[in-house]
Every structure is written in structure tokens, then in C-alpha cells.
Amino acid sequence: MNKNLHPKNAPSNEPSTPHKTNQQAELELTERLNNTFDKNRPSQTKKRHAKGFNTARENLAKMCKTGRFIEYGQMAVAAQRQRKSYQDLQTETAADGVITGIGKVNESTINCTNESSKHSTALIINDYSVLAGTQGYFHHAKLDRIIEIAESQKLPVIMFTEGGGGRPGDTDITTVISGLQCTTFSRWAGLAGIVPRITINNGYCFAGNAALFGSGDITIATQSSNIGMAGPAMIEGGGLGKYTPSDIGPIDIQAANGVIDIVAQNENHAIEIAQFCLGFFQGDSKQWQAPKTKLIQEALPSDRRYTYSIYKVIEAIVDVSSFIEIGAHNGGAICNGFARINGCPIGIIANNSKVLGGAIDVAAAQKLTRFLTLCNQFSIPILSLVDTPGFMVGPAHEQLGAVRHLTSLFTVGATLTVPLVAIVLRKCYGLGAQAMLGGSTENPSYMVSWPTGEFGAMGLEGAVKLGFKTELESLVDADERQALFEKLLAQQYEKGKAIEVASVLELDAVIYAAETRKTIVAALGF
């Protein structure tokens, strides 16, 4: 009998020291994980703090509880093993420059209506301490993976975009030439209307990183941001001059032109804003406080010719401290943003009489079109506060493409499927007023006015001058002509008063200003 076949000498199916082998594997895992954390990357962490910036891991911890964060692709390193030590890559290119995963956001503040996800949010946090936040091969693979997860699970996304764009130094990838087969940008854009996307930037954000930032539904950037579709090297390489990074897309320019929706003081403030904005897409607020009723009675000046603060009107209607404006630095003739009434999310659009008298210009129309589209995509009802003399007109304005951009408001209004409640505060004139109403006074689900509302196909002063031109020009005496003008104007005002317009059913109701909030609650079922 072969002694090697004797039961005593049969080979074991288990290692001779399984505990040591398993322990060694776990120690190796611990080491690899630790190499991605700030404590094992002291020089990179020190550089971030020296600038007054957070590390990527610190931003993650401030966004959600890391103990409930599921990370994707943490072991990745840059595809540069042919040119650098693999051990060095583990710390120098930790996670290949981007943290991706799913975390819980706003658990303590929002009653999430999506029971299947329960506050789950896809998080993408670029790490500038890794090769200046550039986008490499595995970096893009991680982005594609988390975007796919967000789409399949219908998860909102918050993305930090700081970085210098595409990375040319990934030498391990030898079968890619142009890199134009990269699907990240189209996949990211493909989430539009499917899940809300909030982008945050701090520091330099160029090329591909800027493309991701600008595609967000709500864009937030800190005072320290510079955002551009190319960085200094690409601009100089294209023969367009030599610039420093701080010359390109500074915050004041990118906020004024509408690239940035909300300007934050710093990263911590930006995170708070992102969490606040995300809540409007998640569900109702767990706690809310109604404003004092008397505030709204003091909102309008006694003289109809005077301007006033539309923000005070909004604050007098919505839950206390619930309003956040989108695009405050751009298109100032329109104020739009999110708020809550009885804890329920609502989108608000309003004319701002302090800018162009409330006339809607191209910049305001572009901002408003984008905001209405966003509300409609994610089933957020809209409150329209109307006080406008109409569209901004004149040869200079036509050079901006006014016909194209202003009429886009009628297209988006015609496609609205969410409830629209319209309240006329004062002026409701012409095509501009119709644009605020989704197309006409018949489009809102409830169309009402304060007693101070005044209506007409155009501004009443202009209507008198145009409609009674012959009569006015027939009077040689200037005082007589002015007296006739005032008389005709008074008649037009009398005809255009809210109560008269309501009498022919061009309005659903005329309400007391003090009943505004109660009216909205009833109309929207809040």
C-alpha cells in the first residue's frame, strides 16, 4: 500500500496556518485602504490646508456620515505603473483622483418621498491633490460606473468638480489614441431630467472638469473658483495668448453670465447650499415655520410708480428661511428659486421691479427658461408672482437675439405639466406677462390677482399715447394735451383694474394680499 494514500498522510484542503493567512490578507487590505486616507498622505493634506481648502475626504465627511457611505473604486490608482512605483501610486494617486460612492444626505431634515432610496445620493468628489484633479483612464471608468448606478437606481448626484481636465500621462493605456471614445460626458448629460445633478466647484476647474460642472442642473462655486473650458496650457498651445489660471473664468464673470447659479463663501458653505438645494428634490421638510402675516401687507409701496423689494414679498409668503435664489447674479429682472410652503417644495418665479422696471430681457428669459424646465422635470409646482411691463424692447436688445430667447418662454410654458399658480401683484402687461403665466391667463391652474393688479395688452401709458395719438396731437396747448392724456390714462386704469378684469372672467379671483399664503396652500393642496 502506498503510504502517501494512507488517511493519515492525505493532503489537507486547508492551509496549514489559515488564521495567519487570513490575517495577512486583512492587514494588506487595511494598508491599501489607509493609503487613500489623509493620515497617510500628510504632504498632500498640508498643501490643501495651506490654501484654506478641505481635502476630498474632508468634503465627503461634511456631506454625509462616512460610516454610511458605500465607496466604489477606492483601490484604483493612476494608469502609470510603467513610469512610477506602484507603492508610490497608492498614495500619490489615491483612488485615481476621485471619490465615488453612495451616501445618505439630509436624513435628519427631509421626509424623503422616494422610499426605495431613502436619502441615498450618488457622490462624486474630485481630489485636486491627485495630479491636479486631472481625469485619467480609471478616473473616467469610476465616473462612468457611478453615473450608471445613479441612473439605474434613480439617485440624485452631487459632484465636486475641481481639476485641470484631461490627463495625458497615463502611459499604461496603450490602445487609446485620441481618447474621444470617452463616454463620461455624454453619460453625465444623459442624466438630465432623470435625476437632479448638483455641481460644486472650489479652486481651478478647467476643460473636462468644467464640462461636467456646467452640465449640472444647479451649479455652485466658491469665491476661490476659476472655471473655464480650457486651462492656461491649452490656451497658449492654441496660440491665444499666455494667461495664469487666475485670469481664466473668475467668479465675478462666471456668476454674471449665468455659468454659476449660486456663489458660496467657501467649501463648507457650498456643501450646506448643496444639501439645502437637494432637499427640494427629496421631499418635504420635517420642520417649518410660517411667516408673519403682517409682512405681506407692508410689501408694496402706496405709489404704484415706486419700486419695492420682491424678496420681501417672497419672504412674507413662504416658510421662514426656506427661499434660495438660483442665478441671483444674472438676469436680475427675474428672481427665481426654490422655497417651501407648509414644508412642501415649490419653485418661485417673480418679476423684480428694481431691475428694468421688471421688464424681461434676454438674460432673464434664459435663466427663467432653464429654471421652469428644471421644476417641470422633477414635478415641483410653480408659483408665479407677476409685476411686469412686458418684454424688454429696442434695437440694442434685438442685437442679443431677443426674438429667439424671449419666445422660448412660450415654448417651455406650453410644455409645463406641473401645477402653476399665478398671482398678479401689480403690472400685468403684454407678452411678458403672458410668459409669466405659462402663455395666457388661462394656463395657470389658479389665476388670481391682488386688488392692486392692473392689466393690459401693453403698458397703459404707451397704449394711450399710441391709441389716442391723433386726439393728443390735435391739441396745440401743452397743458391741455397733458390734461387729456391724464384723463384718458385714468380711464384705461379703471378698465384694467383687477376687479374689472375678473368680472369678465380673465381672472379666477381677486384676493386680499393677506390671504396669499392661504390661497396657495388651498390651490396646491399643501
What is the model's pLDDT at position 4?
Answer: 47
Q: What is the pLDDT of residues 488-501, one digit of tens each?
A: 777 777 788 999 99
Residues 163-201 have pLDDT tens digits of: 999 888 888 887 777 778 889 999 999 999 999 999 999
Q: What are the contacts of 397-403 at 24+ separation with CB within 8 A?
A: 397/361, 397/362, 400/361, 400/362, 401/362, 402/361, 402/362
| pLDDT reported for residue 14 | 55
Mean pLDDT for 118-133 is: 95
Q: Give the residue-averaged pLDDT of 449-463.
A: 84
**pLDDT the model gives residue 400:** 86
Return the higher-pLDDT residue of 18 and 320. Answer: 320
Cell numbers for 455: 392689466
The DSSP secondary-structure symbol of 452 reads T
CA–CA dist 274, 220 (Å, integer): 8
Region of poorest pLDDT, from 169-183, 234-248, 279-293, 412-426: 169-183
Distance CA 137, CA 208 (A): 13
Q: Which domains does the chain possess? A: 48-279 (3.90.226.10), 289-453+497-524 (3.90.226.10)
> Residues 210-247, buried b or exposed e (16+ Cβ, 10 A)?
bbbbbbbbbbbbbebbbbbebbbebbeeeeeeeeebee
Q: Model confidence at 376, in pLDDT bands (50, 70, 90)?
A: very high
Given a cut of 90, is residue 481 above it in pLDDT? no
Write down the pTM of the prediction. Answer: 0.91
What average pLDDT does the segment 73-80 reach? Answer: 92
Nearest to 366 by CA among 325, 415, 407: 407
Lowest mean pLDDT among 119-123, 268-272, 275-279, 394-398: 394-398
Specify the pLDDT at position 458: 72
Query: What CA–CA distances, in Å, run from 300 to 309, 413, 489, 496?
Result: 8, 27, 22, 19
Q: Can you give the pLDDT at residue 431?
A: 95
Give residue 5's pLDDT. Answer: 45
* pLDDT, mean of residues 9-34: 77
Average of per-residue pLDDT values in the chain: 91
Of the ranges 158-172, 175-189, 303-317, 462-476, which one carries the lowest mean pLDDT score?
Answer: 462-476
Q: Give residue 471's pLDDT band: very low, low, confident or very high (50, 70, 90).
A: confident
pLDDT the model gives residue 354: 96
Q: Using an 8 Å Cβ cutoff, are 119 and 112 in contact?
A: yes
pLDDT above 80 for 350: yes
CB 418 within 8 A of CB 371: no
CA 249 from centre of chain: 19
What is residue 47's three-state secondary structure?
A: helix
| Average of per-residue pLDDT across 341-348 | 98
Burial 89-113 (b: 16+ CB within 10 A, else e): bbbbbbbbbbbbbbbbbbbeebebe
